[in-house]
A and B are shown apart, each in its own frame.
Chain A
Amino acid sequence: MKFDTPATSNPIDQLRVVGQPVDRIDGPLKTTGTAPYAYERHDVARDQAYGYVLGAGIGKGRVAAMDTAAAKAAPGVIAVVTTLDMPRLGKGEMNTAFLFGGAEIQHYHQAIAVVVAESFEQARDAAAMIRTRYVREPGRFDLAAEAPKAQLASADSGEGSGAPQEDRTGDFEGAFAQAAVTLDETYSTPDESHAMMEPHATIAAWEGEKLTVWTSSQMIAWGRRDLAKTLGIPAENVRFDSPYIGGGFGGKLFLRADAVLAALGAKAAGRSVKLALTRPLIANNTTHRPATIQRIRIGAGRDGRITAIAHESLSGDLPEGQPETAVSQTRLLYAGANRLTALRLAVLDLPEGNSMRAPGEAPGLMALEMAMDEMAERLGMDPIDFRIVNDTQVDPEHAERPFSQRQLVQCLRIGAERFGWNRRSATPGQRREGQWLVGLGMAAGFRNNLVMKSGARVRLHGNGAVTVETDMTDIGTGSYTIIAQTAAEMMGLPLEKVTVRLGDSDFPVSSGSGGQFGGNSSTAGVYAACVKLREAVARRLGFNSAEARFEGGQVRAGNRSVPLGQAAGEAGLTAEDQMEYGDLAERYQQSTFAGHFVEVAVHAATGETRVRRMLAVCAAGRILNPKSARSQVIGAMTMGVGAALMEELAVDKRHGFFVNHDLAGYEVPVHADIPHQEVIFLDETDPISSPMKAKGVGELGICGVGAAVANAVYNATGLRVRDYPITLDKLLDRLPELA
């Protein structure tokens, strides 16, 4: 099915099941610990041996020699495979760093060996016996130091965020020079780690030339293709299975060393092998969100109208890598005739930088929305009014291209009213409660809506139940539930009559989970398959498919009513289709919007920041399940608090690695850091987006929230920190004297 004209009315509009805040259908499994994650598949691949991955101990150079004699002789050891045993393996299409093979070390904790043993304890012990001799080479580990050598580079995150290397509209420099009020400031964001709770893990089993991996992947089709490419085997010989994923946030979008080394270990051992990356490997062995240094210039008239806006971002990555697309939202968020964005990329020898939740927008808005707050102050305007004055209903670079829906102003106005914005003092540092300085901050949230081709197979059984199969993944996003809701709505069934099976490469290829495209895209694919199944049912029962109504487990037309299951017969009835898209995404700009509001208290003596209240007002199309969608937003807000106040991979610039590579050193928000969070979804349907009339919502919640926290800290203290995260040491020497 092709979606190339805006949606009209369709069965989803009934909203009997879709749009209802139903509990997740996988809830009873997850809350009882019976949902099996990759490492826990005792039900598959008999006789599993244990693998243990060893990471390189240098940041750049090569492996001169590895002595594995002791490891091989250690109790229980079945096989030892080292990177020197083979030439460098192929590289997946989505990978920047090589995952295994050869002597060259591109980054710290790059995998250099896997030990396979009868038990985890034996494999770990033997891995510690491997003696490796390295030849170190000087590396480039300091982004600021490499800045002069950085090159302009275009990029597309593949997740809805992208920009040309340099993008100009009008005459930025001329307009900026003429502007009555200007801002020219530089902001920085650190390297961040996904730190998902489930480490990357894989069980691999070979049967002849056929390889099956039970793994933890957001993108089944990408993973299968890239594992085949890396190992140099045909993709049809590889099966990926990933029904439950313990968090990803972009860290499991791409093939990683766990799957490669489980496959190599299993081959060498002649046994199925299971392994997980240990927690200390994850920060340096896998990918991270790259640090940025961003310069923003804004020029405006005294009326607050932006006449010139420029956003330039520098980030680093390994050779052949990409820049963080931090300027992407600045092309679309505010009006202004004269515009400039630029992306610069420095070559660094740190681990691979890549997508993390809302790549581009998350760090980009942390800078842009702080700059907007500063600019509003220079103009003597309320920050909400300043944003409203500069709202645009069309793509500012292409005025003929409207937004399909854009309710940013409504988000801001409703948020201001609900949050009590009128109680904010325009002058910072005015509100004190004992030793606490209290402030309010806000920011706009923005994230593009992407639609991706997505397929599904729907099977009707004789008992009137339906099974949906698609390689879509549920990484905590609620895919199981919204897919079941979609099929139930389309087939006129209660939710409990729908079974959903996900994450298996034997199922039709879906959008997968990333870039907040999964919810809308995968359900649209299920919609397409259900349309086909409805037609097949109508045909078989002798109904005119245009007249047939599917409701209450019955198919009805005129005064005739037949149980749905009757169409299935003994053998069942199966339909498969995929949703593809025409050029609506080119003709209309599809984006999602939010207003983020935060209250913080900063301790006047210690500089400790506590978040007291949070509200997000979101305009993101039809909300397929308000309960799970709200969870997506509060979770992203939580990660945004982390980015604003604590998260930072500390770079050792001498040896070239992230030092704080575990969950004690890399601080993420815990219960005590997060207050009750409020989310309001505006009533919105977007018929331009898909027949679901939905849009992405999983990343919108992190977009802008970090700046809202930062702006609240400024409002509380009068101290502007442009270097994230805003830790207490950056406030301490400037805090006001205690009374």
Chain B
Amino acid sequence: MSRVTLRVNGEERSLELDPRTTLLDALREQLQLTGSKKGCDHGQCGACTVMVEGRRIYSCLTLAVMHDGEAVTTIEGLGRPDALHPMQAAFVKHDGYQCGYCTPGQICASVATLQEIEAGIPSHVTADLTAAPQLTAEEIRERMSGNICRCGAYSNIVEAITEVAGRPA
């Protein structure tokens, strides 16, 4: 067993765990934070997306022991049912989900997407790598393409993100 201390949604959490435990399973099983979802366990679907040290990561593709001392933000850290994060509220308003299983990952990725654009990080569709990336639908779609929604709420998700970004949907 290995010892690891994570700072999860602002709270220190010390865990004794099997070193083979992924960050996702540490969150879902040990900490019972089941908002982060296991859709594939292979880094193919994005449902497990969380923020580690301020950057989004597929939590199924990384071991918990690799993150000792690091800060993890999960969907539970963004908002609560009675106090929604603006992105969560926008997803509700624009019906940016159906079954809800990919939704926490989509929302974490959405928040990260806007931060990455704000920080000037280019994407595959950024035409000019030296200019600041623009908040276009094309940029949003490209940056969100690591998060599959089989229910097909994409059109609504882009509208939700666009609204939070401050552009007319």
User: Which residues of A are at the interface with B, using a C-beta cutoff of 8 A?
Assistant: 23-24, 26-37, 39-40, 42, 119-122, 125, 194-199, 244-249, 276, 278-280, 475-478, 627-628, 630-632, 634-639, 662-664, 668-672, 674-677
Contact = CB atoms under 8 A, between A and B. Distances in A.
A33 B107 CA distance: 10
Most buried by B among A32, A39, A627, A670: A32
B84 A28 contact: yes
Quick one: which of A26, A637, A670 has the most chain B CB within 10 A? A670
Contact of B95 (A631, A670, A671): A631
Contact of B45 (A33, A197, A244): A197
B55 interface: no
A676 B91 CA distance: 16
Contact of B25 (A120, A244, A672): A120
A29 B146 CA distance: 23
A630 B99 CA distance: 14
Contacts of A279: 39-42, 44-45
A247 B150 contact: yes
29 contacts: A23-B93, A26-B100, A27-B91, A30-B103, A31-B103, A33-B35, A37-B34, A37-B37, A42-B32, A194-B150, A196-B150, A197-B47, A197-B151, A247-B101, A279-B40, A279-B42, A279-B44, A476-B99, A476-B100, A630-B95, A634-B156, A638-B152, A639-B150, A662-B42, A662-B44, A669-B152, A671-B147, A672-B145, A676-B158
B80 interface: yes
B81 A671 contact: no
B5 interface: no
A677 B79 CA distance: 29
Contacts of A23: 92-93, 95
Contacts of B36: 33
Most buried by A among B34, B100, B140, B141: B100
B37 A32 contact: no
Contacts of B156: 631, 634
B154 A638 contact: yes
B155 A675 contact: yes
Nearest to A666: B44
A31 B39 contact: no
Contact of B98 (A34, A477, A668): A477
Contacts, number: 197
Interface in B1-56: 18, 20-21, 25, 28-29, 32-42, 44-45, 47
Interface in B135-164: 137, 140-142, 144-159
B65 interface: no
The 10 closest A-B pairs by CB, nearest first: A33-B35, A638-B152, A246-B101, A476-B98, A30-B100, A476-B99, A635-B152, A40-B34, A27-B92, A28-B81
A31 B152 contact: no
Contacts of B34: 33, 36-37, 39-40, 42
A24 B148 contact: no
A691 B153 CA distance: 30
B103 A247 contact: no
Nearest to A245: B99
A26 B101 CA distance: 12
A33 B76 contact: yes
Interface in B74-93: 74-76, 78-82, 84, 88-89, 91-93
A663 B39 contact: yes
Of residues B45, B146, B151, which shows the largest number of chain A Cβ atoms within 10 Å of its Cβ?
B151
Contacts of A628: 95
A125 B159 CA distance: 43
B102 interface: yes
Given A246-B99, A662-B42, A198 B37 contact: yes
B79 A32 contact: yes
A630 B151 CA distance: 12
A129 to B, nearest CB: 15
B152 A670 contact: no
B133 interface: no
Given A26-B100, A31-B91, A197-B101, A672 B151 contact: no
Contacts of B33: 33
A197 B153 contact: no
Given A24-B95, A40-B34, A32 B84 contact: yes
B145 A671 contact: yes
A365 B44 CA distance: 30
A198 B101 contact: yes
Given A634-B152, A668-B148, A33 B104 contact: yes
Contact of A33 (B39, B75, B99, B140): B75
Contact of B44 (A121, A630, A664): A664
Nearest to A276: B38
A193 to B, nearest CB: 10
B97 interface: yes
A628 B33 CA distance: 28
Given A31-B100, A33-B37, 4 more contacts: A31-B79, A31-B89, A40-B28, A630-B95
